[in-house]
Amino acid sequence: MTPILNTPAWKHAERQAHGLRDVHLRDLFAADPLRFQRLSVRWGDWLLDLSKQRLLPETLPILAGLWEAADVPGWIARMRAGAPINHTENRAVLHVALRHQGGPIEVAGKDVMPDVRAVLARMRGFCDAIHSGQWRGATGEPITDIVNIGIGGSDLGPRMASRALHAHRVPHLRVHYVANIDGADLAATLAGLAPRTTLFVIASKTFTTQETMQNAASARAWLTAALGEAAVARHFVAVSTALDKVAAFGIDPANAFAFWDWVGGRFSLWSAIGLPLALAIGFDKFEALLAGARAMDEHFFTAPPLDNLPALLALVELWNADFLGLQTRAVLPYSHSLGLLPRYLQQLEMESLGKQIDRDGKLVGCPTLPIVWGEPGTNGQHAFYQLLHQGGRALSCEFIACRAPDFPLAGHHEKLLANCFAQSAALMKGKTQAEALAELNAAASAHDGAAVAPGFLAPYKIFPGNQPSTTLLLPRLDPYTLGALIALYEHKVFTLGVLWHLDAFDQWGVEYGKQIAGTLLPMIEGKTAVTGVDSSTAGLITAVRA
């Protein structure tokens, strides 16, 4: 295929970006009273506002030309047909099958839907057994606490969603998450739990992941010290495909929930990896999560790019990264419940798109994904917003808010929304020196001149503005909406992978550090000599061993 950088659509976008280089967002709003209407898109009761992005209404059709030039519709068809679009691992990419309802979806000639439905049915049965008290621990007591032990995609997705849906939780069950191999993570979690009422979910496809298996072994030791070896079968279940290793650990293979190699870890929330979430909120609500994702799937598969929310997010991201040179994006959910969304998106987006080698083994030739970071508002306003407003760095922001609160305490939500909308407006508009001086003069006059001299303070009150942002306004935060929101970002990642001609579904960069760690561990343990490493690493190991 023709490299995207050589297409007419790319050249056209370059010319448009050059023309906007010295144009301020406040001037774009002043010149077009209908800018919001022209640059906002609705999907049902969702609203995506792109009017504060540094682009023109005619920019989006130009960018949509890249959608066609890269043949995104063709790649969507390949994904849905079970083609091995994860080409470095020769795997299909079918997380959409996990929330599919309807006809067969095939991988290598086999319909995967019967297996998907069978696992979901087993998950429902297990959740019902825990919630009803039918499943009991080794001492005959019902389970009150679930501890999910996993890492990466086996942790971030269900952890984020469990916090997001805290308002919808099953009231008599507590769900905890342990991921870090640092013993402080597991020890702090276990400190408040009773072995006789605790159930562990060990989530590892191969049952060999170092962090997960070390934490699992320590959890097992904690349990058996109190209840004996026979208790393992009533207090551990697994999400894995390695049934032999599951059995060797002491878990009954009948209590192992399968998933498949065509489900990437960071796309696996919809599979048995979502078991702790289903336990946290109940299986009916987990199915509502799947339904929301399915609705977003259908929207992405059928809507034209200018009405397609994942496509628009992807095209604007590419515009900011490759044409405006923005190197970071702050994700700023004005929802405490979505507090882990920035961390979840770091893995989903940066592990998928943090690459420079394309599908042909060549350099992409342009910047790819900006660094993703963020914190929920309004906490971030009292931390890093100073840099957003006056730090002199150009970056983009993504505000996410809900019309209705999930915890309706009087007087809270209106203030939250006021802050969200104010911050995006301030980042766009800024404040000129003349405006700052006039404001200070008015304040000095009101205080009979007692205030600090306006001429002295004015430079400190200037805000450059012109910082682009997107605002996504959701109706509410419930399982259906959250499912659609997560799927929105999954399809954004897919689209950018196609536009940049990347394989968004492998993660070889994750493996390299693990490989080195495997060679260093026996040196740190004192089992082998410290050799074959650089002087810094050798010095650090020697210091630890001393």
- 139: number of Cβ within 10 Å: 13
The answer to whether residues 61 and 8 touch, using CB atoms and an 8 Å cutoff, is: no
From the list 18, 87, 415, 514, the catalytic residue is 514
Which run of H or E residues covers position 542?
A: helix 535-545
The answer to whether residues 468 and 52 touch, using CB atoms and an 8 Å cutoff, is: yes
DSSP string, 426-470: HHHH-B-HHHHHHHHHHHHHHTTT-SPPHHHHGGGG-B-----EE
Any catalytic annotation for residue 287?
no
* 3-class DSSP string for 145-208: EEEEECCHHHCHHHHHHHHHCHHHCCCCCEEEEECCCCHHHHHHHHCCCCHHHEEEEEECCCCC
Residue whose pair of structure tokens reads 């906002």 in the numeric block: 40
From the list 287, 317, 351, 375, the catalytic residue is 351
Distance CA 166, CA 274 (A): 15
HSE-CB at 412 with a 13 A cutoff on CA atoms is: 13
Distances in Å between the Cα of 132 and the Cα atoms of 122, 181, 193, 306 are 15, 33, 20, 47
Q: Which residues pair with 40 in a beta bridge?
A: 49
The answer to whether residues 475 and 485 touch, using CB atoms and an 8 Å cutoff, is: no
Tell me which residue of 123, 172, 167, 126 sits closest to 145, measured CA to CA. Answer: 172
DSSP state of 34: T
Cβ within 8 Å of residue 108, ≥6 positions away: 82, 92
Judged by DSSP in three states, 423 sits in: helix
HSE-CB at 57 with a 13 A cutoff on CA atoms is: 13
Any catalytic annotation for residue 131?
no
Distance CA 283, CA 234 (A): 21
Across the beta sheet with 46-49, the strand order is 40-43, 46-49, 469-474, 396-402, 328-333, 371-374
Distance CA 173, CA 389 (A): 43
From the list 382, 447, 525, 527, the catalytic residue is 382
Distance CA 369, CA 48 (A): 21
Any catalytic annotation for residue 514?
yes
| Encoded tokens for 354 | 């943090």
Helix and strand counts by DSSP (H, E) for the chain: 23, 13
Indicate which residues carry an active-site annotation.
Answer: 351, 382, 514
